[in-house]
Amino acid sequence: MTTTSVPIFADESWRLPSRGTVAMLSLIIGESAIFTIFVVAYIYYIGRSVSGPTPKILDIPIFMTVCLLSSSFTIMVAEHAIDHGRMALFTAFWALTMLLGIIFLGGTALEWRHLIYIDHLTIRTNLFGTTFYSLVGLHATHVIVGLMMLSIVLVFTLLGRINQSHAERIKVLALYWHFVDAVWVVVFTVVYIVGR
């Protein structure tokens, strides 16, 4: 059975969406569902703590947020750079993205140290503590995982192994980073604006 006996299209090209993008979007949908459940729990329990510190003790983390959201911009520049084969620019902005992510995590760590040791809020203090640390912690975990993946790429870039042909895959990874930032917008709004 050869292909010639089956009529085929004359001029149509057969193009399908990139599997990397499809897979990453699917992962993002799944992760969004997990975050949604934690957000719903957070919202449901607003104001229901029986005792202990309330969200009033939270300081709005403006600097951290600006850093993290800017990192979406810097990673976009990096994506653009590798698309055009400008590896030096790519490396610089990729590293800058990571730096901004690390600053964000550092900010979270400082905030938590204050909450735990000064305000005496832990995950077991009350409903606010439980839902706060779970939700913000879940997000921070995703930032850490993202940073780990970004650092692998940075290492390979510095070793000279990454070039323009990897642009597609880099963009798939960047999609994950954008997702992490988008989740922060939601978490920030729910925890620091609506919940306070």
Partner 1 sequence: MADQTLPIPSPFEVPQTGTAAFLEWLHDWFVTVDHKKLGILYVVYSLFFLLVGGFEAMCIRIQLIIPHNTFVTPEVYDELFTMHGTTMVFLVGMPILFGVANYLVPLMIGARDMAYPRLNAFSFWLTAFGGLLLYFSIIGGFGLYGMGSAPDIGWFAYAPLTAKAFTPGHNTDYWALALIVSGFGTLGTAINIIATTISMRCKGMTLLRMPLFVWLMLIVSVLTLVTITPLTAAQVMLLIDRYLGGHFFDIRAGGSALIWIHFFWIFGHPEVYVLVLPAFGIASEIIPVFSRKPIFGYSAMVAATVAIMFISLGVWAHHMFTVGMTSVGNAFFALSTMIISVPTGIKVFNWLATIWGGRIRFATPMLFALAFLVQFVIAGLTGIMLSAAPWDWQLHNSYFVIAHFHYVLVGAIVFNIFAAIYYWYPKVTGRMLSETLGKWHFWLFFIGFHLTFDPMHVVGILGMPRSIYTYEPNRGWNTLNMVISIGAFIQGIAVLILVWNMIRSHRSGEMAGNDPWDAWTLEWATSSPPPSYNFATDPVVRSRRPLWDLKHPNDPDWKYEP
Binding site for partner 1 (CB under 8 A): 1-3, 5-9, 14, 16-20, 22-23, 26-27, 29-31, 33-34, 36-38, 41, 44-45, 48-50, 122-124, 126-127, 129-131, 134
- The CA distance from 66 to 64, in Å, is 5
Of 6 and 193, the one with the shorter C-beta distance to partner 1 is 6
Is residue 173 within 8 Å of residue 122, measured between CB atoms?
no
Is residue 70 within 8 Å of residue 100, measured between CB atoms?
yes
The Cβ of residue 177 has, within 10 Å, a number of other Cβ atoms equal to 26
Q: In angstroms, give the least distance from the CB of 124 to partner 1.
A: 3
Q: In angstroms, give the least distance from the CB of 120 to partner 1.
A: 14
Q: In angstroms, give the least distance from the CB of 2 to partner 1.
A: 8
Of 48 and 113, the one with the shorter C-beta distance to partner 1 is 48
- The CA distance from 56 to 65, in Å, is 19
Of 56 and 124, the one with the shorter C-beta distance to partner 1 is 124
Q: Which two tokens stand for residue 53?
A: 């510190």
Of 81 and 127, the one with the shorter C-beta distance to partner 1 is 127
Of 20 and 55, the one with the shorter C-beta distance to partner 1 is 20
Q: In angstroms, give the least distance from the CB of 190 to partner 1.
A: 15
- The CA distance from 40 to 149, in Å, is 29
- The CA distance from 77 to 93, in Å, is 7
Q: In angstroms, give the least distance from the CB of 127 to partner 1.
A: 5
The Cβ of residue 44 has, within 10 Å, a number of other Cβ atoms equal to 11
List phi, psi (to 5°) of 195. -75, -25
Q: In angstroms, give the least distance from the CB of 179 to partner 1.
A: 13
Q: Which two tokens stand for residue 190?
A: 């729910």
Of 49 and 151, the one with the shorter C-beta distance to partner 1 is 49
